[in-house]
Amino acid sequence: MHKTICIVTQSHLCRNPRALKEATALAAAGYDVHILTGSVSADLYAQDLSAIADFPNIRLQLVSDLSKTNLKSFADRFFNKLGRWAIRRFKIENSLALGYGALRYYDAARAIKADLYICHQELPTCIGSRLLNAGFKVAFDLEDWYSEDLLPEARAERPIGLLQRAESEALRKGSFCITTSNALAEKLAQQYSSPKPRVIYNVFPRPEISFQKTKLFSKPLKLFWFSQTIGPGRGLEQFIKILHSLKTPIELHLLGNVTESYRQSLIALLPSQHHLFFHDLVPENQLATKITEFDIGLALELNTPASRNYTITNKFFQYIQSELPVITSETEGQKEGYDLFNPGFKLSQQPDSAEIEALEKWLNSPEELQLAQNRAIEAGAFYNWENESKKLISLVGIALEK
């Protein structure tokens, strides 16, 4: 009889590749996988179904569906708004503020009677602590440091204490707990006086695309950055400020959803010797090919909030797997990913004139760029899902035997 693994998450699989990779790896290993999640878009849900179409032993169940206009979706929006208001106005912490369908997740999870639950993201981590206390076997994937995430204005509506208690339970009582970097694992263990969570890097399968052994770098160089949303607090403004000191023209390419006001603010910031281009989102399975169109990947991050400082952005891994040199912001997490192979240029949070001069020299050296690409190829052979998924399969096997 096959064992059932229930992955509890709260966002679309096509927008949460870590949960998708875990689901398909477990399904390929012979487990029956049941995914609980929510939907905000019929189009994205169709992409979710397409992503798991080759795995008949994966079942996707929506706990909340905001793409539909009905009483349930209205109630989900209302209770989420009520939960956030209660925190902001009265400091009453609650799980309603963490997502949609919060009142239904626990019962939906219990009903599956899985042999093991793996909880991702904020609301499922809180649900997982309830499942633990009810006697279920629960593991946790702390993709971020949830209680130390987001900018200050967003934290005003966030149940910080509730998240801290859930993180503590996950680290102390979970069948296993994993996270995305050694830097974050060590910090979490220190913060909660808990065992150190295991590390599974947020890497991707090696892309099935043909690369050039010797890359032909463009003139001007095409620098690339991507995210679901192009917005403040991600290091873009700081990098554009650096570009004011670079005489060498470059093209800055940004991929993601962006508001018109923020688009115009970036255009106004960019000095005239450079050019700025915006690109629409592409399906997840087309991203690796898209990245190869450019010369250098930008793994930009600020060192605040703390979660950003200790995690390694998935951009870094996707660039090296597409064989791009990387300009990496120096954070505790990024240093961990970068320093083993040095596949590009590491930029401090507040670079001085000497560092900016070194960056310009690097950008103008075809030999240095080619060397960085070679190191990116080496890094991509080490940091990939084929290697990291073995850790997950081992952890699940051990947990099920207990």
Rounded Cα distance, 114 and 117, in Å:
6
Q: Are residues 131 and 235 in the same domain?
A: no
SS3 category, 335: helix
Q: Positive or negative, the Cα torsion across 236, 183, 206, 53?
A: negative
Q: pLDDT value at position 153?
A: 79
162 part of a folded domain: yes
Q: Are residues 32 and 147 in the same domain?
A: yes
Q: What is the widest separation between alpha-carbon atoms in the chain?
A: 65
Rounded Cα distance, 282 and 246, in Å:
30
Q: pLDDT value at position 215?
A: 73
Closest CA to 344 of 362, 361, 325, 357: 325
Closest CA to 159 of 121, 120, 105, 123: 123
Q: Are residues 231 and 375 in the same domain?
A: yes
Q: Are residues 35 and 153 in the same domain?
A: yes
Residues 400, 116 contacting (CB under 8 angstroms): yes
Q: What is the dihedral of CA 144, 74, 109, 196, to 10 degrees?
A: 10
Q: Do you find a cis peptide bond into 305, omega within 30 degrees of 0?
A: yes
Rounded Cα distance, 159 and 176, in Å:
24
210 part of a folded domain: no
Report DSSP letters for 95-106, one per residue.
GGGG-TTHHHHH
214 part of a folded domain: no
309 part of a folded domain: yes
Question: Residue 285 maps to which CATH number?
Answer: 3.40.50.2000
Distance from the Cα of residue 202 to its chain's centroid: 7
178 part of a folded domain: yes
Buried b / exposed e over 136-166, threshold 16 CB at 10 Å, is: bebbbbbbbbbbbbbeeeeeebbbbebbebb
Q: pLDDT value at position 210?
A: 62
211 part of a folded domain: no
Q: Are residues 33 and 118 in the same domain?
A: yes
Residues 328, 299 contacting (CB under 8 angstroms): yes
Q: CA angle, corner 73, sides to 70 and 75, nearest 5? A: 105
Rounded Cα distance, 19 and 261, in Å:
32
252 part of a folded domain: yes
CA distances to 24, 27, 156, 385 from 35, rounded to whole Å, are: 11, 11, 30, 20
Location of structure tokens 């890097």: 201
Q: Are residues 87 and 132 in the same domain?
A: yes
Domain range for 391 = 4-203+385-401
Rounded Cα distance, 158 and 123, in Å:
11
Rounded Cα distance, 244 and 242, in Å:
5
Q: Are residues 262 and 354 in the same domain?
A: yes
Buried b / exposed e over 313-330, threshold 16 CB at 10 Å, is: bbbbbbbbbbbbbbbbbe
Which residues, at least 6 apart from 205, have a Cβ–Cβ distance to it below 8 Å?
A: 21, 384, 385, 386
Q: Are residues 277 and 183 in the same domain?
A: no
Which residues, at least 6 apart from 29, have a Cβ–Cβ distance to it below 8 Å?
A: 393, 396
Structure tokens of 158? 């966030």
How many Cα neighbours within 13 Å face the side chain of 236?
26
* Partners of residue 277 on adjacent β-strands: 253
Which residues, at least 6 apart from 54, have a Cβ–Cβ distance to it below 8 Å?
A: none
Q: Are residues 167 and 259 in the same domain?
A: no
Residues 44, 51 contacting (CB under 8 angstroms): no
pTM of the model: 0.95
Q: What is the pLDDT along the chain (402 residues), one digit of tens a residue?
A: 689 999 999 999 999 999 999 999 999 999 999 999 999 999 999 999 999 999 999 999 999 999 999 999 999 999 999 999 999 999 999 999 999 999 999 999 999 999 999 999 999 999 999 999 999 999 999 999 999 998 777 899 999 999 999 999 999 999 999 999 999 999 999 999 999 999 999 999 888 766 665 678 999 999 999 999 999 989 999 999 999 999 999 999 999 999 999 999 999 999 999 999 999 999 888 899 999 999 999 999 999 999 999 999 999 999 999 999 999 999 999 999 999 999 999 999 999 999 999 999 999 999 999 999 999 999 999 999 999 999 999 999 999 998
Q: Are residues 57 and 14 in the same domain?
A: yes
Q: Are residues 27 and 137 in the same domain?
A: yes
24 part of a folded domain: yes
Number of domains in the chain: 2
Rounded Cα distance, 283 and 205, in Å:
15
Q: pLDDT value at position 220?
A: 97
Q: Are residues 199 and 236 in the same domain?
A: no
Structure tokens of 214? 């010797």
